[in-house]
Structure 1
Amino acid sequence: MTTEDVEVGVQEVRLHLGDAPVQLPEPVAHLARTVTQNRKGHATIGALTPSRWLFPGGQPGRPISTTQLTQRLNRLGIRPNQARSTALFQLATEIPAAILARTLGIHTDVAVAWQRLSAGDWVTYAAEISQRARPT
C-alpha cells in the first residue's frame, strides 16, 4: 500500500489494495489522513527521496514486513491476528461461503470451514432465494 494509493478527497479516503479502491469509513479514514500528512522527511534510513509506501520498511523502496508491522502493533496492544480471525468468522456467519470465497479471493473449501466453525448456516441459502417472490 503506497501513499499514492490513498486518495484524500473532501469527505472520503479511498485505499487502493488491488484493482478497485475501497472507501475507508471514519475513524479509519482519519487515521490514514493523519499518517500521510504527518510523515516528515525520509521514512527509511539511506533513502534519497521520501518513501512511496504508506508503511515504509527498513530498506529504501520497500514496504514494512508483515512480521515487523505485527511486532509494532503488538507493542501497542493491538493484536491483528485476533482481529482478523474475528472479522473473518463474523463475515462467515453473514454471507454464503461461495460469496465469501470470491470476495476475499480464498478457496471455497476454506470459506466453508470458516462457516462451519462460526456456526453460520448457509446450506439452504440458494433454495430460500429461489422461493422468494419475484418483483413484478
Structure 2
Amino acid sequence: MDEEHRGLNVPDLVANTLHLCIVSGRLKAMLEQESGANIEFLPAALANHKGRRVTGEYFIANVLDTYDCVDRDKSDFDTFASKPDEFTGLFRLNLREDQIPANAKLFRIKPMGTVLIVREDLRAALEAKGMTGVNYIAMGRRCSIY
C-alpha cells in the first residue's frame, strides 16, 4: 500500500478499470436515502491483494437515470467516426441545465454512460458523511476520461 493509504482499508467508492461503480454498504445506504436516483444495487465480493475476500458489504451501483444534457458547443470530446453521438474521450464537460430534471442529483450522461454526474448538494452530503474514494471534477474543468 502507498504512504497515503496504509493497510488494507477499502474506500466507500472502489476505483476499478472496468468503470463499475462499486460502493460500500455505507455509501449504498446514503445513496438510497439522499440521491433520489434510480439505482440498481448488485451484491459484489472484493478480494484483497492476497486473494482473500474483503470483509464488509459491497455492491455494484448501476445508476439507471441517463440524460441527453451535454452542451456540445462548450464541451471538449472525441467521438467514434461511425457513431458521432457516442464519446470515446471527454476532456471538458459542460451541461445544459434546462435538459436536467430539477430533482436529479446523480445521473449518467447519454453520450458516455460511464460518466456519473453528482449535483453539488449531493457532493456536499457525501463529503459531510466522510465518504472515501470519491473524486470530483468540477464542471468546465479540463479532464481526461476514456
Bigger Rg over Cα: 1
Check whether TM > 0.5. Answer: no
Scaled to the shorter chain, the TM-score interval is under 0.3
Structure with the largest fraction of helix: 1
Larger RCO, structures 1/2 (Cα 8 Å, 6+ apart): 2
> What is the TM-score with the length of structure 1 in the denominator?
0.27
